[in-house]
A and B are shown apart, each in its own frame.
Chain A
Amino acid sequence: MNLEKVIFGFFIVLAATLNFGFFVGDIDNPVHHDVYELFAAIVVNLIATVLKFGDRTHIGAIHLSTSLVADLQLIAAALVWSYGTQVVGAELTPETTAKVVSLSGGALFANIVSMVILIAETIMQKR
């Protein structure tokens, strides 16, 4: 067992699960989507991205790019959320909620790709 691998896998899976947790629920119902979960998803995704820095293999490059996609989508979701709550009005409207959740849904897809790569990489290791 390799501690580095444990941490790597942990952050990738955690990023995906947090993202999923935020995503599930009615798409336009603000009550179903907690902003703290979005925050946690962003932080864990950023850490997962940095962990993927510096891998020269092809699989490493794909890992990094999926992570960057997820970051981009989640940060966009956070920006939409900030705009909706701070600029337009104090309360989260169903329209804004739908936008935020759909953006996080895109990030979730990128995170799932990341997980699939992780699993494929693990299976490929013959031991």
Chain B
Amino acid sequence: MNPDVQESTFFLALRRMRAPLITLILIYAISVLGLTLIPGIDAEGQPTRMSFFHAFYFISYTATTIGFGEIPNAFSESQRLWIILCIYLSVIGWAYSIGALLALLQDQNFQNAVRVQRFNRVVRHLREPFYLVCGYGETGQLLCRALDQRGIRAVVVEIEEARVSQLDLHGYSADIPALVADARQPEILKLAGLTHRCCLGVIALTNDDDANLAIAICARLLAPALPALCRAETAETATNMASFGTRHIINPFDKFGRYLALALNAPAAYHLLEWLTGVPGTLVVPHRDPPRGHWLLCGYGRFGKAMVSALEQEGVLVTIIDHDPPPDDAQRHWVRGDGTGVPALLEAGVRNAVGIAACTCDDMSNLSIVVTARELNPELFVVLRQNLQANQALFDAFESDFTVVPSQIVARECLAILTTPLLAPFLWQIKQRGESWASTLLDQLTERFGWQAPTVWGVCVDTNQSPALLNWLTQAPRETALGDLLRDPHDRAEELACRVLYLARDDGGSTVMLPHRRTVVRSGDQLLFVGQGAARRALELTLNNENALDYVLRGREVPGGWVWERLARSHGGAARSADKTKADRTIA
């Protein structure tokens, strides 16, 4: 809803209180006036009149049903007659006013207006960096959870109220402000913090390509410096987004098509990529490599198209089963029919095929297709598209070779772009270097770290992420090598269980693939690490704590704190402090 409209509903609500308020004022005025005009009797039996002060006092407590009695003197009969009228008048007045007020509070428009204003206030007062996530569907939920785990704030705009109300149930550690609104409207995006100085970027994940496009345009025009991550499920939208300079366009189908092409072309490179991008801690099972030969594909939609073009690029013969094949496509082999049925599968040649891809947008159809096909040909390599996270149990039960979950692909890709920007150029390098190089690297890495997906993280040598190292580099007498840095801050004889994959220098684009341990670290460097979570925490300690860094690089322990530093200096500078090491261990 437009915030302008929101504001006007607020004023409209105020206007609706006019009649009850005027009624109340009139009732009070008439009652008070009457009471001052009607003759009464004072304590000595003399005729008197009530003052305005007493009349207002009396009416105030009578109208609110408090009832202190007849003050200051007992009333005359004519006064009592008037009071009877006043009591009923005031009860009616209050009932009407409170009824109107309650009706107003229940009003949908009014509640919306209040909600929008509260959301706006929360967003305006955010003082930490945050991402603006548009669309809280499956992808949005995965992404928000991952961001929350990493301690990054998010603001959500979602059009469906039911999904926003789920947000409270998901138990995030930080509060995620959410608004039920259409993110296509620029005003809504502004309300949600698009132009906020702490906004790190816009992530458009709605299931509507047009909406994502609209968000991308808004972000480009209203906040040109912000990175925008946009999901696009058709090639047209992706091209359109690219035309006005959207930095990150994520097409899950296209992405998977490329993975599959890579798996067909260079299995080791593919395994390396999968190992690096896996969810940390999960076991990456090296599955069998997709075979070359005759493939079947059911459902020529957005995903089907991406798959066919990827397979054909690799020179694989594909037979497409679809309900209505295009009439003028003579280059491809089409079978008209339903992939869930045996006749269509047989006609497409399932018995001699090596692989099948079930690409329809209905989960039950996809499962039905692959179950039938496996019965006809148990050796088939199966690629299965899963549309809804809710059907996870069914897809787990069926052992496919590849299960494609678009929402997971998008969320993982977003996360990689946001948290480890160096991963993308490194993965690109993997594809360039060729199969044997990738195979050697994969063997080295899995031998050292196992087949569990590792932690992949980026570090920038700057005041923010590694203040201690930066300080050291500006003062150090000689250059610092990577190998010296990657040592355990508790025992420097131990090497940290991590490795640098990629290094980007600050000097305008020079990069080092798999830097050697003698490679020199400079300020402004960006490093991509792979390794165990414990190594990451240990390294963070080294990079942030001057004493830990000093120990790691020079092998001596410096006491912390002003007093200890003074004492150490007076004792010749090389005093050891066991207490300090202990303290550091507790920090770590």
Given contacts A85-B51, A86-B51, A86-B53, contact A47 B15 (CB under 8 A): no
Chain A residue numbers with a CB within 8 Å of B32 are: 39
- Determine whether the beta carbon of B22 is less than 8 Å from that of A82: no
- Determine whether the beta carbon of A54 is less than 8 Å from that of B15: yes
The reply to whether the CB of A24 lies closer than 8 angstroms to some CB of chain B is no
Chain A residue numbers with a CB within 8 Å of B25 are: 43, 46-47, 50
- Determine whether the beta carbon of B22 is less than 8 Å from that of A56: no
The reply to whether the CB of A10 lies closer than 8 angstroms to some CB of chain B is no
- Chain A 61-102 against B: per-residue CB contact (8 Å), 1 yes, 0 no? 000000000000000001001100110000000000000000
- Chain B interface size band reads 20 to 34
**Shortest CB–CB separation between residue B59 and chain A, in angstroms?**
12
Tell me which of A39, A50, A56 has the highest count of chain B C-beta atoms within 10 A of its own C-beta: A50
**Shortest CB–CB separation between residue B499 and chain A, in angstroms?**
63
The reply to whether the CB of A35 lies closer than 8 angstroms to some CB of chain B is yes
- Determine whether the beta carbon of A50 is less than 8 Å from that of B21: yes
**Shortest CB–CB separation between residue A5 and chain B, in angstroms?**
15
- Chain B 41-72 against A: per-residue CB contact (8 Å), 1 yes, 0 no? 00000000001111000000000000000000
- Determine whether the beta carbon of A53 is less than 8 Å from that of B14: yes
B interface, over-half SS: helix
Neighbour of A51 across the interface among B18, B51, B52, B54, CB < 8 A:
B18
The reply to whether the CB of B33 lies closer than 8 angstroms to some CB of chain A is yes
Chain B residue numbers with a CB within 8 Å of A82 are: 52-53
Tell me which of B29, B33, B54 has the highest count of chain A C-beta atoms within 10 A of its own C-beta: B29
- Chain B 7-51 against A: per-residue CB contact (8 Å), 1 yes, 0 no? 110011111111001100110010011001000000000000001
- Determine whether the beta carbon of B14 is less than 8 Å from that of A54: yes
Given contacts A39-B32, A43-B29, A47-B26, contact A53 B18 (CB under 8 A): yes
- Chain B 130-167 against A: per-residue CB contact (8 Å), 1 yes, 0 no? 00000000000000000000000000000000000000
Neighbour of A56 across the interface among B8, B17, B52, B53, CB < 8 A:
B8
On A, residues with C-beta under 8 Å from B are: 35-36, 39, 43, 46-47, 50-51, 53-56, 78, 81-82, 85-86
- In the assembled complex, 12 residue pairs joining A and B whose CB atoms fall closer than 8 Å, in A order, are A47-B25, A53-B15, A53-B18, A53-B21, A54-B11, A54-B14, A54-B15, A56-B8, A85-B53, A86-B51, A86-B53, A86-B54
